[in-house]
Chains A and B, each alone.
Chain A
């Protein structure tokens, strides 16, 4: 077909090609950077954590409470407090968030949706310091102490409720996006079979959107476990904590423990082992969230109802 092969030149502009190569390397560096930073964090955490573990009296990792200044590094204390606060937060965020998502995606009139969705997004943008302060000055006296008159001003419950408020918009917005992405034809199929709204949401929309909903819950749990400011401000126990499941007691999460150690609230800044325990707790937190992610990925893959 080619009659005059010599008459056309397809080699292109060499300058353009070298320019594209440059751009490609810039993006490659940017991509590698995030990997490198993650690796760096893990390495520095692991190194210091190892130094801590190799020097500490191992028994002190699970006896008594968390009092690093006095050499008590009870890890269960931190884990339990983390669990209690994140758990309380999720108890608030799951029903509220999924409820809001269901309302917005299935029930709300377009008019209501138009202002409610942005309102939620604004709520999602409130800095956690503000929520921490609010937990301390409002949730604690007006909610916790109203229902439990014996409760102290600093409680894990107040912090947990604050964390719940923090992650509710996250659950709501991400879940709502997932639910709205479910094709209308599936809803019509369901309604056409005589399903009402509630069962359509429960048996058609939810299962079809499950991977997005699960993703929102995982994000929320990760966020709740990693949340520092609210816990630091509202859960008390910044100087150390006793091991307790009681949400009406003060408690110290892993994040709050790190914050205390790093900021010197514990009055140990830079001092020997106590400071190094920070790295150990940090590594633990990292492993915990990672495990959570892996686990949830499995669950999502198993229960996903894929639609095309």
Chain B
């Protein structure tokens, strides 16, 4: 395996695409527009490009060689069975995996053409541009206001903080519910409100890309719907990557879908990307039987 790791690194370094638009020939064919998820079209520039991304936890090869482009102002969904590495991949995009001592990423993830894993790239800078919303709502044990103001304060925001807090909460469809209790603890909110607070907190830093790892998995259907509506609005301005277990959700909110699966070899469960295409294709005309089985619930 050691050999392979070595060659992976080398090959990746030399295959970095010169122009990002050229990097995704497989996406050239655009399907007819779908009812809910918006119309993916190639006029949206590729903002993030994963090339040959391999992820390891110690000796464990968690994700094998994932390559896919992510286009701006679109929602890209990651779906697949549990343990196939969706979280690992999405967390590698804003270098969140740096926080896990054993985690290691190989390959290249370019953002506006810059390799995020190149030496000299500051993960703190990366995370200011690529924000994240987590599966479990994780507000700070501070007031609602302070939660939203946290990111802007960190990055020394010089504008009107009150206005920014209101704007962020409004965009996250939470303002009306909390405007009278901004100084209350965020822990007094319901799970769905907490999750929207976390979204407000993430967009208050005005990131470029928003990563959401199963943002609605802990929520009831109504709260989920609100978050989906929110995503639809947010993508007018942001690029969104979402991990979801919910097929319908992926079909509803995303423009493009990546389907991951797990291979068991040498006793290791290694995740890989099976298929990546616009959402309509994945759901109506998948190229791989594996994808079709999973989509139609025949996965086993």
**Interface contact A193-B205, CB-CB below 8 Å:** yes
Q: What are the nearest 6 A-B pairs in CB distance?
A: A194-B128, A192-B132, A305-B141, A185-B138, A193-B151, A307-B141
Asked whether, in the complex, the Cβ of A191 is within 8 Å of the Cβ of B127, the reply is yes
Contact yes or no, B96 A191, CB < 8 A: yes
Residues 66-82 of B contacting A (Cβ, < 8 Å): none
B154, A189: Cβ atoms closer than 8 Å: no
A293 proximal to B (CB < 8 A) = no
- Per the bound structure, the CA–CA distance linking A10 and B65 in Å amounts to 65
Residues of A within 8 A of B185 (CB): 306
- A190 at the B interface (CB under 8 A): yes
Asked if residues A110 and B101 are in contact (CB atoms below 8 Å), the reply is yes
Instruction: List the B side residues contacting A187 at CB < 8 Å.
Output: 99
Question: Are A306 and B187 closer than 8 Å at their CB atoms?
Answer: yes
* B contact residues, range: 20 to 34
For the complex formed, measure the closest distance between the CB of B242 and the CB atoms of chain A, giving whole angstroms.
15
Please tell me if the beta carbons of A194 and B134 are within 8 angstroms of each other in the complex. Answer: no
Q: Please pick, from A109, A193, A307, the residue contacting B127 in the complex, using a CB distance under 8 A.
A: A193
Compute the total of residue contacts between A and B using a CB distance below 8 Å: 75
Given contact pairs A187-B99, A189-B198, A194 touches B124 in the complex (Cβ within 8 A) = yes
Cβ 8 A contact of A194, one of B99, B127, B198: B127
Is B140 interfacial (CB 8 A cutoff)?
A: yes
Binding site for B on A (CB under 8 A): 109-110, 183, 185-196, 199, 203-204, 207-208, 305-308
* Docked pose: A109 CA to B99 CA in angstroms: 11
Would you give the shortest CB distance from A214 to chain B, in whole angstroms? 15
Which chain B residues in 184-207 approach chain A with CB under 8 Å? 185, 187, 198, 201-202, 205
Q: Are B154's CB and A208's CB within 8 A?
A: no
Q: In the complex, are the beta carbons of B154 and A194 less than 8 A apart?
A: yes
Q: List 29 A-B contacts (CB under 8 A).
A: A110-B101, A185-B138, A186-B140, A186-B141, A187-B99, A188-B96, A188-B99, A188-B132, A189-B138, A189-B198, A189-B201, A190-B150, A191-B99, A191-B123, A191-B124, A192-B94, A192-B96, A192-B131, A193-B151, A194-B151, A196-B124, A199-B154, A203-B150, A305-B140, A305-B142, A306-B185, A307-B141, A307-B187, A308-B187
Q: Does B136 contact A (CB under 8 A)?
A: yes
| B271 sits at the interface (CB 8 A) | no
B195 → A minimal CB distance (Å):
12
Chain A residues near B151 (CB, 8 Å)?
A: 193-195
